[in-house]
Amino acid sequence: MKRIQKVLVLLGSPRKKGNSAVLAGMIAKGARSAGATVETVYLHGLDIRPCTGCLKCQRPGARGCVIKDDMQSLYKAMHEAHAWVIASPVYWFTMSAQIKTWMDRSLAFTTYAKDAFKGKKIAVAMSYGGDDPFDSGCVNALRTFQDAFSYVGSELVGMVYGSAMKAGEIGANETLMQAAEALGKRLAADDS
C-alpha cells in the first residue's frame, strides 16, 4: 500500500511572492499531483534567533535547542515530513539569512531522533539576479546544500534555479517551471 508522503516547504525569502517562492510553489504542485501533502512555512515571519554556539543540544540526553522560539514547532514539522523543499534567493553570493539561520539552528534537530536527517529527501529552489549562477553566487549556496545534506545522510533529489529580479518574474520561464514541477513529483515518490 502506498503511504501518503508529507513535504515541508521552507520559504527563505522576505518576499512571499518572490522568485524562489514561485519555484517552490511549482515543486509543491508537482508533489501534490503525486499524492503528497504539503505544508509551507514562511521563515521570514517567524521568530528564529541565531544559534549561540553553546552546543547544549549536543550534550548526552539533550532534547532540542535551549533557545525557545519558533524553531521548536519547526523541529516537529521537519521530523514529520519525509521531504523538504528549501527555497532561497541569492543574497550577497549565497543563501538568504533566513535559510542560513534555519540551517544553523537545525543542529539541534539531531536530538529529536537518531540519525534525524538520514533518509530525508531534499529539493532546493533558488533564484538569483544576473546572468550566471556562478558569478551571482548561486553555486556557492547550491554547493553548501550539497555538502551539508550529504554529510548528514539526506538525499538531495534535485535543484532548480534561475535568474530573475522582479518578484514573480521567474514564472515566465516555462522550461524552469516544468523542471520544478517534475522535481516535486520525484520528491513525492514513495520509495518504500
Look at the chain and report how many structural domains it folds into.
Answer: 1
CB atoms within 10 A of CB 139: 18
* Inside any domain, residue 15: yes
pLDDT value at 189 more than 90: no
* Inside any domain, residue 39: yes
Residue 1: the pLDDT is 45
* Inside any domain, residue 59: yes
pLDDT in tens, 131-188: 888 889 899 999 999 999 999 999 999 999 999 999 999 999 999 999 999 999 999 9
* Domain ranges, residue 169: 6-188
Residue with cell 514529520: 80
Please tell me which residue, 145 or 64, carries the higher pLDDT value: 145
* Inside any domain, residue 109: yes
* Inside any domain, residue 1: no
Percent of the chain scored above 70 by pLDDT?
Answer: 97
* Inside any domain, residue 170: yes
CATH number of the domain to which 95 belongs? 3.40.50.360
